[in-house]
């Protein structure tokens, strides 16, 4: 008998409409039942760092609201009307039709509908994202594959220094906007031209540049790997897969060196950038050393309960740079089985320190494990809003960094890079110091 999953930290495949909304002037058109979009938006938006609806998001998302009639007789005609109306009343550069469980089960040929509009020169693509096909992380990959197969055209021209960057998943990763800006800054600092289709300065122009890039850079343990492999197969664009989100001086400096080497950038130029950034980072850390080295305040052990991208990046920073000891690291993004061994192997730190890694999307079982764990000192729990209660019960320090983040507003905050590591240190010690007031 199937077991119930509690405290879920992602949504169904259809939640990928947030990835569409993260592209400037792109609009999702949903062929799904009533209420699907609203529930997903509340989880990934309102209850996740107070992220808003954006351009044509939230309650403004076009949707067929498929009912029993469409289940019996099919919903193709209703979809055509919805697409026609969207073109008539919404000012946008790209429309993406996404399917829900109802239309995928019934078998509506959404591709046939969309292809007719494509033949008319309309900027529209589609992806089959029935919720039973996986999570919004897989749905995110479906969106990118749809762009590759239905929109992008090969280009003989390659733009010098241009690199496509694929990393955090919009809205699923609460800090995605700030993360993207910081990644852009890091890549630009060593002389490359970052091209990212999501977030600020994104849009159709960024999408059009994808085939012109010198290479694709994937910063993620697993999400997006199939996409960059697909881009290599279709356009011959090589890719660099960097599995750890760079947080803090150790990992960020390694990241810049590896990217610089792959791109053929002079190592002395890269080292000059690294020294400047590290000097600045350690200036601020040294100023706070009296507090950071105070053993009464320092949480010696930590647990992460988050998507693999944040869990891996944050745990390496806390261990390698702040000197904390990793307890169990819980991966909650339901990573496909074929990636799990590779992800777990990345949880290795300086001085031969390792951590136990567990993959579970059941927050309820994680909560029970934490209650039954005998911590030698007060632990730091890096998790989500779900973990606030159990953290109080085990007398731990808790910081929300992953979906759902219900106790913080997140605008441009990021933990990526040298600057992001300073922000993360501030946030951790703010939580710790508040407990001593």
User: Is residue 297 within 8 Å of 291, Cβ to Cβ?
Assistant: yes
**Closest CA relative to residue 128, chosen from 16, 230, 227, 23:** 16
Give the pLDDT confidence score for residue 73 in this predicted structure.
66
Strands (E) in 349-418, as ranges, are 357-359, 380-384, 397-402
Residue 83: name the closest of 72, 67, 71, 99 by CA: 99
Task: Note the pLDDT of residue 53.
Answer: 83
Collapse the DSSP code of 199 into the 3-class scheme (helix H, G, I; strand E, B; otherwise coil) and give the result: coil
The 10 Å Cβ neighbour count of residue 151 is: 17
Beta bridge partners of 222: none
Q: Give pLDDT tens digits for 74-110.
A: 789 999 999 999 999 999 999 999 999 988 888 889 9
CATH (residue range 284-434): 3.40.50.1980
pLDDT of residue 302: 96
For the chain, 437 residues long, give each residue's pLDDT as a single digit of tens. Answer: 457 788 989 999 999 999 999 999 999 999 998 889 899 999 999 999 998 887 788 888 999 988 877 776 678 999 999 999 999 999 999 999 999 998 888 888 999 999 999 999 999 999 999 999 999 999 999 999 999 999 999 998 999 999 999 999 999 999 999 999 999 999 999 999 999 999 998 999 999 999 999 999 999 999 999 999 999 999 999 999 999 999 999 999 999 999 999 999 999 999 999 999 999 999 999 998 888 877 666 788 999 999 999 999 999 999 999 999 999 999 999 999 999 999 999 999 988 899 999 999 999 999 999 999 998 889 999 999 999 999 999 999 999 999 999 999 999 999 999 999 999 999 999 998 887 66
Cβ–Cβ < 8 Å for 299, 319: no
Residue of 81, 86, 5, 8 whose CA lies nearest to 43: 8
Please, what's the largest Cα pairwise distance for the chain? 71
**What whole-number distance in Å separates Cα of residue 159 and Cα of residue 197?**
16
CATH topology match: 13-150 vs 162-280: yes
- Please write the tens of the pLDDT for every residue from 30-83: 999 888 989 999 999 999 999 888 778 888 899 998 887 777 667 899 999 999
Of the candidates 101, 109, 58, the one whose C-alpha atom is nearest the C-alpha of residue 79 is 109
The residues spanned by each domain of the chain are 13-150, 162-280, 284-434
Q: What is the pLDDT of residue 261?
A: 98
Token look-up 């007719």 returns: 116
Q: What pTM did the predictor assign?
A: 0.95
All residues at 6 or more sequence positions from 415 whose CB lies less than 8 Å from its CB, including other chains? 175, 179, 247, 310, 313, 314, 317, 401, 421, 423, 424
What Å distances lie between residue 12 and 37, 87, 184, 404, CA to CA? 11, 27, 29, 14
The conformational region for residue 140 under phi > 0 = left, psi -120 to 50 = alpha, else beta, is alpha
Omega cis (within 30) before 93: no
| DSSP label of 99 | E
Q: Does domain 13-150 have CATH number 1.25.40.10?
A: no
Of 346, 403, 423, residue with least CA distance to 329: 346
| Whole-number Å distance between alpha carbons of 187 and 227 | 20
The predicted structure's pLDDT at residue 1: 40
Burial environment of residue 275 by CB neighbours within 10 A (0 to 12, 13 to 18, 19 or more): exposed
For the domain 162-280, what is the CATH code? 3.40.50.1980
Closest among 175, 171, 177, 179 to 419, alpha carbons compared: 179
From CA 343, how far away is CA 353, in angstroms rounded? Answer: 16
For residue 83, what pLDDT is reported? 96
Identify which of 337, 169, 321, 317 has the alpha carbon closest to the alpha carbon of residue 329. 317
pLDDT score for 437: 61
The pLDDT assigned to 89 comes to 95
Taking each helix axis from N to C terminus, what angle separates 248-263 and 267-287, rounded to the nearest 10 degrees? Answer: 170
Contacting residues for 95 by C-beta, under 8 A, at least 6 apart: 26, 27, 28, 29, 83, 86, 87, 122, 123, 124, 125
């Amino acid at each position: 008998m199937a077991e119930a999953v509690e405290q879920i930290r992602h949504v169904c495949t259809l939640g990928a409409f947030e990835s569409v909304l993260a592209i400037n002037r792109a609009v999702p058109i949903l062929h799904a039942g009533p209420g699907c979009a609203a529930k997903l938006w509340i989880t990934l938006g309102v209850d996740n760092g107070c992220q808003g609806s954006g351009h044509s998001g939230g309650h403004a998302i076009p949707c067929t609201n498929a009912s029993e009639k469409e289940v019996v007789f099919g919903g193709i005609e209703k979809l055509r009307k919805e697409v026609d109306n969207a073109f008539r009343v919404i000012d946008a550069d790209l429309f993406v039709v996404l399917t829900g469980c109802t239309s995928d089960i019934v078998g509506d040929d959404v591709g046939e509908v969309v292809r007719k509009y494509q033949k008319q020169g309309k900027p529209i693509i589609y992806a089959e994202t029935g919720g039973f096909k996986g999570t919004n992380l897989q749905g995110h990959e479906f969106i990118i594959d749809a762009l590759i197969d239905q929109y992008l055209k090969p280009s003989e021209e390659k733009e010098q220094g241009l690199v496509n960057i694929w990393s955090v998943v919009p809205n699923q990763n609460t800090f995605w906007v700030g993360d993207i800006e910081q990644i852009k800054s890091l890549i630009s600092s060593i002389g490359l031209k970052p091209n990212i289709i999501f977030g600020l300065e994104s849009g159709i122009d960024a999408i059009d540049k994808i085939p012109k890039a010198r290479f694709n850079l994937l910063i993620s343990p697993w999400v997006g790997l199939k996409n960059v492999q697909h881009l290599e197969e279709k356009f011959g664009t090589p890719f660099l897969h960097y599995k750890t989100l760079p947080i803090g001086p150790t990992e960020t400096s390694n990241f810049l060196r590896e990217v610089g080497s792959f791109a053929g950038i002079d190592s002395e130029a890269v080292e000059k950038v690294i020294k400047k950034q590290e000097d600045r980072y350690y200036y601020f850390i040294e100023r706070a050393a009296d507090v950071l080295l105070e053993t009464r305040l320092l949480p010696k052990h930590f647990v992460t309960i988050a998507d693999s991208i944040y869990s891996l990046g944050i745990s390496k920073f806390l261990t390698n740079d702040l000197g904390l000891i990793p307890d169990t690291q819980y991966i909650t993004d339901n990573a496909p089985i074929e990636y799990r061994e590779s992800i777990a192997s990345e949880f290795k730190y300086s001085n031969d320190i390792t951590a136990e890694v567990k993959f579970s999307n059941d927050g309820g079982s994680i909560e029970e494990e934490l209650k039954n764990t005998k911590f030698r000192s007060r632990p730091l729990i890096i998790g989500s809003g779900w973990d606030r209660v159990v953290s109080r019960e085990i007398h731990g320090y808790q910081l929300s960094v992953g979906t759902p983040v219900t106790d913080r507003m997140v605008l441009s905050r990021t933990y990526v890079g040298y600057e992001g590591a300073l922000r993360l240190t501030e946030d951790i010690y703010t939580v710790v110091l508040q407990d001593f007031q």
